[in-house]
Amino acid sequence: MNLATKLSSLLFLISLPLVICADETTSTAREGDAPVLPLKMSDAFLDPRAVLRDTTHDPKREAGPFHTGRLLNPGVLTFFQLPVALTPEDLKTGNVDIAIIGAPLDTSIGMRGAAAGPTSLRAGIGTVADGDLPHMHVGVAWKRELIAVDYGNAAIDFLSVERSMPPVRHLVREIADTGAIPVIIGGDHSLEYPNVAGVTDVYGKENVGVIHFDAHYDGADRAGGHLISHAQPVRRLIDDGHILGKNYIQVGLRGYWPGEDGFHWMRKNKMRYHTMAEIEKEGWPVVIKRILKEANDGPEFLYISFDIDVLDPAYTPGTGTPEPGGLTPREVFPLLRSLCTEKNLVGFDLVELNPLADPSIYKTTLYANRIVQECLTGIAMRKKGITDGKYMNPLTSDDNR
C-alpha cells in the first residue's frame, strides 16, 4: 500500500462521526460521575490500515475472480456457490456486476445470532438452483446474465458497533468504486448506515433514494447515549445528509413503533411510508403501485435495505424482533423484482437474518435466499434489456389450454 492510499484511508476514517476517539487521558471523571473506561488508542486494531485487506502474503496469481470448488463439490462455501474475488483489481479485471459481502455484526441488538446470517446463507440450507436455472415467472437465469462474486466478509469489531462502521463503509465504497453493485448480507440493521453511506460516498450525497422494507422505522435518535444501533440507521442517514427525507420510502411498518413522535419526525423530513394499516385498508395492489411510482419519483440511483422481519414471522421466525401481521413472500417477491428491474440499483442489503432463532433451522434462510435472488433476477432482467418490472414469461403465464 503506497503512502497516498494510507493517507486516503486515514482521512476517510477520521472523518466518520461514529468512530470512538477516547484514550487513556480521558479516564478522569468528574466527582459523582461514573468512571470512564476508554479505548486503548495504541492498539494495532485502531490503525486505519487494519480495516484493509492485507494481500502481501497471498500467492501470486492473475487478477480476476476464481472458483474454489472441485468437480461437483462446492469446495469452500460461498454465496450461491459463486467464485471468489479478493481485491478491487479482481472486480475490475473480471468485469464484475455484483459483489456480495458478509457483515456478521449483531452487537447492536438485544438478541444475538444475526452474525450467523452470512454463514447460513452461504451454506444454502434448503435451497436449490441458486440462479443457474431460469426464474419461472420471467424466464431469466441471473447467473447467465450477471458476473457475480463472493467478496468475503467485512472486518467486524465484535466488541463495538461504532468501530465496526468504518470497515463496512470502506468495503462497500471499494465495491461501488469499481462500478459493481454491493450486496451486503447481515448482520443487524445498524449496517444500513455504513452500507448506504458507502454508496453515497461514490454516487453523491442526496443523490440516492432508499427503499426500506421493515416492520420498524429504525429512526430512533439516541439509544443509551449511542448514536448507532439497529434502531437508528435511518435517523443517522438523514441527519448526516446522506439521504434526503423525501427520497426515503418505508414499506411494511406495523406494531407499536414509531409512536406519534416518530411519525411527526418522518413527516417533518417529508419521508414517505406505507404501513400495514394502509395495506389492509387499501389493498396490496393499490399500495404496490404507489411504491413503484414513488421509487421512480426521485434520484437516478436506488438502494434497497431489506429487514427480514418485514415478512410475517410465520415465514421468517429467525429474526431478533419478530412482529406478527406482516407481509407475505407472494406480496414481496414481485415488488422486489420490479424495483430491481426498473431502477438503477446501486446497492442492496438483507439484514436481521438470525438462523439461531429459527426453530425450523432452515425456513428463514430459505426465504432470505429467495429474497436476494428476486433482486438479482431483476438486475439481470434490466441488463438483458427488460425494464418492465411486470414482465412475465409467456411460456409459464399465458393460458395455453
Q: What is the DSSP string of 82-110?
A: PPB--SHHHHHHTT-SEEEEEE---TTSS
What's the confidence (pLDDT) of residue 34? 57
The top-level CATH class assigned to 79-397 is alpha beta
Integer Cα distance of 281 and 10 in angstroms = 51
What's the gap between Cα 82 and its chain centre? 18
Q: Give the three cell numbers for residue 277.
A: 394499516
Question: Which residues face 184 on adjacent strands?
Answer: 101, 349
H or E stretch at 213: strand 208-213
What average pLDDT is seen over the chain? Answer: 88
pTM: 0.90
For the stretch 123-145, pLDDT in tens is: 986 455 689 999 999 999 999 99
Q: How would residue 111 be classed by pLDDT, with cut points 50, 70 and 90?
A: confident
188 vs 232: CA distance, rounded Å: 11
DSSP tag of 140: B
CA atoms within 13 A on the CB side of 255: 20
Report how far residue 43's alpha carbon sits from residue 274's, in angstroms, rounded to the nearest whole number: 46
Query: Which residues does 105 contact at the CB level (< 8 Å), separation at least 6?
Result: 114, 115, 156, 158, 161, 164, 168, 186, 187, 188, 190, 191
* pLDDT tens-digit readout, 340-355: 999 999 999 999 999 9
- Dihedral sign for Cα atoms in the order 250, 256, 258, 259: positive
What is the predicted pLDDT for the residue at 244? Answer: 97
Q: Where are the domains of the chain?
A: 3-51, 79-397
Say which residue, 144 or 57, is predicted with more confidence: 144
Q: Are 274 and 167 in contact (CB under 8 A)?
A: no
pLDDT at residue number 128? 58
| Band of pLDDT at residue 401, cut at 50, 70 and 90 | low
Three-state SS at 305: strand
Tens digits of per-residue pLDDT, 247-260? Answer: 999 999 999 999 99
Expressed in angstroms, the distance from the first to the final Cα of the chain is 65
* CA–CA distance, 87 with 55 (Å, rounded to integer): 8
Query: Do 188 and 299 touch, CB atoms closer than 8 A?
Result: no
pLDDT value, residue 110: 80
pLDDT for 29 equals: 46
